[in-house]
Amino acid sequence: MTDFMIFNRLLVLLVSLSLPSLCLGDLSPYHSLAYTAAAQPQDGALWLATLDQEQAPGVSSDPTTATADQQEFPHLNLPSSPDHEGLMHDSKLFLLYQVGVVGVLYLMPQSVSQWGDDQKNGNVFRKWDDNVNNLRKDHDDWTINYIGHPYFGSVYYVRARQRGFDRPDSLWYGVVMSTIYEYGIEAIFEPVSIQDLIFTPVGGAVIGEYFMTARENIMRDVSNRGYATTGDNVKLFFTDPLGVINKKVDKLIGYKEASLDLMPLFSRDGVDQHSMPALVGLQAHVSW
């Protein structure tokens, strides 16, 4: 079974974690302020709306002090310095997903996993040793080697870019992650592939940089529009699936990163009932 087939099943399994959010439209990195007539407060009352600074584009951007990446992608709210701890957390979760999915596939019949008894039985460590010492050019379909692998390489690349790493470091992150996979779990079942070691990180960097530009354009439109459509959420998901899935998993396991929430404070005092309430202040909330 090729690693692309494993990745494909991995993605299908993990996407299911986020399908409800895709349908409800809450995956967008931008939380807009919504005001409806049904929720109008009484005259003179203060109305509190929430805005997550971590996810809102351009909240604290300063063109004079922004990094080159922040200036190029002002709506993605990239960190001003590499978030090593955050990327390490992402990496651990991704490796955990691989182990979990491969374990499930191992227990499934051959008709599902495509792994025969000769691949499942025997000395696992001996098989791994043979495969890591048998680097070869595989014969997978070209769509797997030159489309599938670069896409999954872009998953590594975009996650590193979103964590504040520059282009060269994000490329090397893709190299490390794809190498760990090829010489790790994948090598238990088949020899290491030369094409996969090259085209996963290199093609991933090319596609990943295109995805970063696409994400910036989407977030700019979301910012101008004031809300995200279902189409926006779907595009944001598939250009950074690991980021979205990890947030869902973090909520399930109770993991929480430090964040700063700004809550705009509105008042209807002296404002016509058909008009938007006036912004009178901000309340900050820090959590860790």
Q: What's the pLDDT tens digit per position in 230-276? A: 999 999 999 999 999 999 888 888 776 645 455 666 666 666 666 66
288 and 146, same structural domain? no
171 and 217, same structural domain? yes
User: pTM here?
Assistant: 0.68
164 and 45, same structural domain? no
Q: Tell me which H or E stretch contains 167.
A: helix 167-183
271 and 189, same structural domain? no
CA-CA distance, 244 to 153, in Å (whole number)?
16
pLDDT of 73 > 60? The answer is: yes
Instruction: Tell me which of 111 and 243 has the higher pLDDT.
Output: 243
Of 21-25, 65-69, 96-100, 165-169, least confident by mean pLDDT is 21-25
Q: What is the domain count for the chain?
A: 2
Residues contacting 228, CB < 8 A, separation 6+: 25, 27, 28, 30, 32, 222, 236
Segment 122-149, tens digit of pLDDT: 677 788 888 889 888 887 788 888 898 8
The predicted pLDDT at position 275 comes to 67
Domain that includes residue 156, residue range: 3-25+76-255
287 and 201, same structural domain? no
191 and 113, same structural domain? yes
The predicted pLDDT at position 161 comes to 97
270 and 170, same structural domain? no
172 and 68, same structural domain? no
Confidence category of residue 38, pLDDT binned at 50, 70, 90: very low
**Average confidence (pLDDT) over 42-46:** 42
The predicted pLDDT at position 126 comes to 82
Q: Tell me which H or E stretch contains 267.
A: strand 259-267
Percent of the chain with pLDDT over 70: 61
What's at 91, amino acid-wise?
S
237 and 123, same structural domain? yes
88 and 143, same structural domain? yes
pLDDT of 196 > 70? The answer is: yes
Of 92-101, 150-159, 277-286, least confident by mean pLDDT is 277-286
183 and 160, same structural domain? yes
54 and 193, same structural domain? no
Q: Tell me which H or E stretch contains 154.
A: helix 149-162
